[in-house]
Amino acid sequence: MKYSFKNDYSEGCHPSILAALMRTNSSQQNGYGLDDYCVEAEKFILQKANAPHSKVHFVSGGTQANLLVISSILRPHESVVSATTGHIFTNEAGAIEATGHKVHGVETIDGKLTPELVQSVIEVHQNKPHQLKQKLVYISNSTEIGTIYKKNELENLSKFCKENGLYLFMDGARLGQALTAESNDLMLEDVAKFTDVFYLGGTKNGALLGEAIVINNPILQEEFGFHIKQKGAMLAKGRILGIQFQELLKEDLYWDLAKHANQQAMKIKQTFKEIGCDLLAETDTNQIFPILENLQIEKLSEQFDFYVWKKIDAQKSAIRIITSWATETEVVERFCQEISKLK
């Protein structure tokens, strides 16, 4: 069987989570996120984010989190701005559009939005009330091509949003990987400070499933529970999510797992560089995008699974390699040996 570098959720979950689920299995708890574990996990998150007045809601997946947050914020005549690489623009089957809201896709160099790029959308929608009103800016950290926001970039974007009456929402499916990247200068506290809403992803960082939505803006907090319930996202056994985040966060396991994924990817990236391989984007998270000749791709795919991400020309394409919290050093070394043979 081929080893897969297609995603960071092929494995089940970290063993300590399975142990915690077994250990707490017979404990009777309140439902719908009111259990002791969700309460405790929320405390962990707010303490680590230094955001005592924020509110945390646990849901099962990333698309669900994006759909809930965006649809809860926007009124019928309002829209959201996203990079064209953004998950809501490319990979959610029109989930946001299905709620009646347009997603304005913006081409970017590195998957990151800037005030200037958002302004370019606003400028062509001045004929109000005949055109949509932009109200929300959606970003991902790390982005869908593995890049990360630096502190000054997030701070500048946050300032721009506030000055223009826009909400800022960060998709944090891989926030753990972003905040443990070697070049990162952001802290979780900064994310809470500069966004109206963000979420901390568990599915792609060692959990069986689950994302923790953190609502920092008090204006957006009060009614959010109704949106979760109405859209079928409120689990009766919410404890399943709380237990997992409690286990991931209580001794910083969450950050250790993300760092491991990044480090494994960097070993592979270095090997691609050693054979003279160009990269679609310069990243130091767990996603890398080497550009290879098509014959080289065919050779690597004999033993390993990965996505062919983007056609570069008739002879070359970029592939996507993703490592996970569970990627073993032995497998990475074997993969690197095969990469070296491509030279």
221: domain CATH number is: 3.40.640.10
Instruction: Tell me the per-residue pLDDT of 263-291, one tens digit each, with 9 for 90 and over.
Output: 999 999 999 999 999 999 999 999 999 99
Which pLDDT belongs to residue 250? 87
In one-letter notation, the amino acid at residue 314 is A
**Residue 116, in any domain of the structure:** yes
Residues spanned by the domain of 163: 15-253
**Residue 52, in any domain of the structure:** yes
Which pLDDT belongs to residue 343? 80
Q: Are residues 168 and 246 in the same domain?
A: yes
Q: Which residues of 145-157 are buried (b: 16+ CB within 10 A; e: fewer)?
A: bbbbbeeebbebb
Q: Which residues of 52-90 are buried (b: 16+ CB within 10 A; e: fewer)?
A: eebbbbbbbbbbbbbbbbbbbbbeeebbbbbbebbbbbe
Q: Are residues 114 and 198 in the same domain?
A: yes
Q: Are residues 291 and 248 in the same domain?
A: no
Domain end marker among 253, 283, 316 = 253
**Residue 271, in any domain of the structure:** yes
Strand residues in the chain grouped as ranges (E):
3-4, 55-59, 78-83, 103-106, 133-140, 167-171, 197-201, 211-215, 278-279, 287-288, 290-293, 304-305, 307-311, 316-322
Domain end marker among 221, 253, 285 = 253
Q: Are residues 187 and 96 in the same domain?
A: yes
Q: Are residues 249 and 264 in the same domain?
A: no
**Residue 334, in any domain of the structure:** yes
Task: Report how many domains make up the chain.
Answer: 2
Q: Are residues 115 and 203 in the same domain?
A: yes
**Residue 7, in any domain of the structure:** no
From first CA to last CA, the distance across the chain in angstroms is 25
Instruction: Tell me the per-residue pLDDT of 38-88, one tens digit each, with 9 for 90 and over.
Output: 999 999 999 999 999 999 999 999 999 999 999 999 999 999 999 999 999
**Cα distance between residue 120 and residue 32, in whole Å:** 42
**Cα distance between residue 109 and residue 216, in whole Å:** 29
Q: Are residues 225 and 271 in the same domain?
A: no
Which residues in the chain come in under a pLDDT of 70? none
Q: Are residues 335 and 267 in the same domain?
A: yes
Which pLDDT belongs to residue 1? 82
In one-letter notation, the amino acid at residue 62 is G
**Residue 6, in any domain of the structure:** no
Q: Are residues 169 and 271 in the same domain?
A: no
Domain end marker among 202, 231, 253 = 253
Q: Are residues 46 and 138 in the same domain?
A: yes
